[in-house]
Structure 1
Amino acid sequence: MGRNKMRPKWFTREKCLLNAIKQFPEGKCDWIIIGNCITDSTYQWLQQVAPFARIIRAEEKNAADSFRLAFNTICNLPDDRLVYMIEDDYVHRDGSLKALQEIFRSGEADYVTLYDHPDKYGYGADNPYVIGGEKTKVFLTESSHWKYSVSTTMTMAAFVHTFLRDKNVFMRWSSNGRLSDSPIFFELKNFHNRKLLLPIPSYSTHSQNPHVAKLIDWEKEIMK
């Protein structure tokens, strides 16, 4: 489950969840939490901080199988439901929900991530799909600039009918206990003409060094 990743000093999974609950609050969002391999004390804590959520306890062997459980769970929701899948180590800044709603109202996106990954600019990791910077198109909504991108992580949003349409792609790249996120979106873009959009600057970040999104004080965001 990646417990030994290089983490910023401000990171905990508990803080990330509390931050997400604040940015995507009860009353505006419905919550499903997949608690994979969690202790009884963690389950009790989840019940306390998210009494409004449907909490599913699971014992999946790896991140790929946990993702497949989450994916199949959302595929049982109504086709017109907008779903934002959030991994447990992401931080969001104020305005995230508004920005997400705006970009889907624009009709420009099949998939949206709120994470402007530094690998699109040559920072933090080599991305085989981005050489010397990402060639793209940029446009503006009320709250943000947005750009088309070739890949992202599994923290992303789409309508249920979109996930169902592309289910075979997600299942193929999460089989045999291995989850490969970038190839999923590369295939969706280049072989299925799907559009992935992300904001500039980022509304979220992966809490892992050196992949923390640039230009935002994420410690300040997670401590609010």
Structure 2
Amino acid sequence: MSGKLFLVPTPIGNLKDMTFRAVEILKESDVVLAEDTRNSGILLKHYEISTPMRSYHMHNEHQATEDIIRQLKDGQIISIITDAGTPGISDPGYLLVKECVANNIVVECLPGATAFVPALVVSGLTNNEFTFVGFLPVKKGRKTKLESLLTEKKTMIFYESPHKIGKTLKDLAENFGADRKASLSREISKKFEETLRGTLTELMEISEKRNLKGEMVLIVEGATH
């Protein structure tokens, strides 16, 4: 009898955002797949979860997936978590889910933290339709990706790291226009949570003046013509 794979969202900042059910599932699992066992170890210790962890990240997921599928077929209950947010959203998870589906293994994703949802809701930009872009390519394919978004009319959602946000804002302003409206949310659910709103140029100027920290969610207005 096959086991079951749970995708368990974890807090993107405040540890109190963990759900009761998420804690319960992690405690009942045979193993927890973690993107960074050191980082996840802090969370598991906080909630007194003693389930064994196994490293599962973008550098080993192709090699590890076959063995995990075997464990699931043997009846094990396995949960996957990432450093923050919902597995599979710009984080490991997709490949394993794909293989589970191909092998008729039950997969369940718990509702929970995902960084782009609060960022989109507080942006003040249209949120009835949106396109999730995630991280832009760093080099190869970056220009092509930006060009493909030039005529996108839906609100666009980008993820970015603090040391690359300045370049990304500059590239977006040059491609989409300096006056394109945008919203930048950082440190979501943490003590110094902040949302900055304005044009791409205004946000770029703020980024140049300040040493913005924390993972970034950038919401950009879609094309108006």
Q: Please, what TM-score do these two structures have when normalized by structure 1?
A: 0.33
Which structure has the higher relative contact order (CA within 8 Å, separation 6+)? 1
